[in-house]
Amino acid sequence: MNQNDAKTVLRVVKIVALILAVLILGMNSYYTIGEQEQAVVTTFGKPESVSTPGLHFKVPFIQKVTKVDTTIKGLAIGYDINSNMPVEEESLMITSDYNFVNVDFFLEYKVSDPIKALYASQNPVLILKNMAQGCIRSVIGSYEVDSVITTGKSEIQSRIKEELMAQLEMQDIGIQLVSISIQDAEPPTEAVIEAFKAVETAKQGKETAINNANKYRSEQKPQADAQVDQIKKEAEAQKEARINEAEGQAARFNALYEEYIKYPLITKQRMFYEAMQEILPGLEVIIDNGDGSVQKILPLDTFGE
């Protein structure tokens, strides 16, 4: 190989190396972010969050990009989410009345701050699970077993959520709680399970009886109210009638008394005649002459037959 050929080969190698360097630099100078992703761009150790989806550029070999999934994820407590088998060391708890109960929870969370989720702690999901277990045991331990298994589930879930959210805000690990719910709650033995089923059945029967009683009251109350109203109206009418009658009699008596004061004799005679007029139509006067013959005088009938 002569000198010219050596120079040509060297020139080709330099061109190929330059092309490869350009390609490598080009491939490391951009990145894309999906709809459910955020990116953390680190420049000389200083992180910066990028949340806008699409194509973005970076300085090759200087800026490092770490993508963070921001979709809602689930976490099981008390059972294995893949096999659905119980995990007793997580689910077995003690209540305020010193009973044991198995309670399973499902927790939903998502990344709220990618930088803190990456750098504030080594394993934020494990920290979240440990905090959730602590809140769960604390709240369950303040309720009686009856409430945990039957009527108090909604209230227990709300209290656990409030306490866990407060702890997450205080720890500030870049994880946000979406929801936490009781999947199952039951006593640890079959005998106790049957007893609680009987209690639940009795409570449902009680609720049914209360609902039926309320329904009957709702149906009967309008009719009873109507009867009470009718009785009151009739009593008011009778009261008004008696008052009016008494006032009328009093007015007549006063008028008669005034006439009596003016004309005592005439008034007495008038009262006598009016009394006789009321009495005589129903009065019978019978005369017996002693010989067995009887004659009725009043009312005025014929004297002979």
Three-state DSSP state, 122: coil
* Token duo for residue 285: 């006067």
Q: What percent of the chain has pLDDT over 70?
A: 80
What's the pLDDT at 302?
46
CA distance 102 to 99: 10
Radius of gyration of the chain (CA): 52
Please check whether residue 156 is in contact with residue 140, taking contact to mean a CB–CB distance below 8 angstroms: yes
Digit-coded pLDDT (tens) for 57-70: 777 778 888 889 99
What's the pLDDT at 45?
80
Q: Is the pLDDT of residue 137 over 60?
A: yes
**Side chain identity, residue 302:** T
Structure-derived torsion over alpha carbons of residues 216, 218, 223, 226, reported in degrees to the nearest 10: 150
What's the pLDDT at 169?
92
DSSP character at residue 203: H
* Confidence class for position 111, pLDDT limits 50, 70, 90: very high
CA distances from residue 224 to 215, 230, 234, 236, 275 in whole angstroms, order as listed: 14, 10, 15, 18, 49
What's the pLDDT at 203?
79
Please check whether residue 151 is in contact with residue 203, taking contact to mean a CB–CB distance below 8 angstroms: yes
**Side chain identity, residue 288:** D
Q: Is the pLDDT of residue 184 over 80?
A: yes
**Side chain identity, residue 144:** E
Q: Is the pLDDT of residue 72 over 70?
A: yes
Digit-coded pLDDT (tens) for 192-225: 667 667 777 887 888 888 988 888 888 888 888 8
Q: Is the pLDDT of residue 108 over 80?
A: yes
Burial 36-53 (b: 16+ CB within 10 A, else e): ebbbbbbeeeeeeebeee
* Confidence class for position 304, pLDDT limits 50, 70, 90: very low
* Token duo for residue 215: 């329904």
Q: Is the pLDDT of residue 43 over 80?
A: yes
Three-state DSSP state, 35: coil
CA distance 181 to 153: 9
Q: Is the pLDDT of residue 1 over 60?
A: no
Residue whose C-alpha is closest to residue 120's, from 180, 174, 201, 44: 174
**Side chain identity, residue 194:** E
Least confident piece of the model among 79-83, 206-210, 252-256: 252-256
Q: Which residue has the higher pLDDT, 30 or 227?
A: 227
Residue whose C-alpha is closest to residue 38's, from 56, 29, 47, 50: 50
What's the pLDDT at 260?
73
CA distances from residue 81 to 92, 146, 233 in whole angstroms, order as listed: 17, 27, 71
Q: Is the pLDDT of residue 30 over 80?
A: no
What's the pLDDT at 143?
94
DSSP per-residue codes, 38-96: EEEEEETTEEEEE---EEEE--TTTEEEEEEE-S-EEEEESB-TTT--B-HHHHEEE-T
Q: Indicate the angle between helix axes 124-140 and 153-171, nearest 10 degrees.
A: 140
Q: Is the pLDDT of residue 23 over 70?
A: no
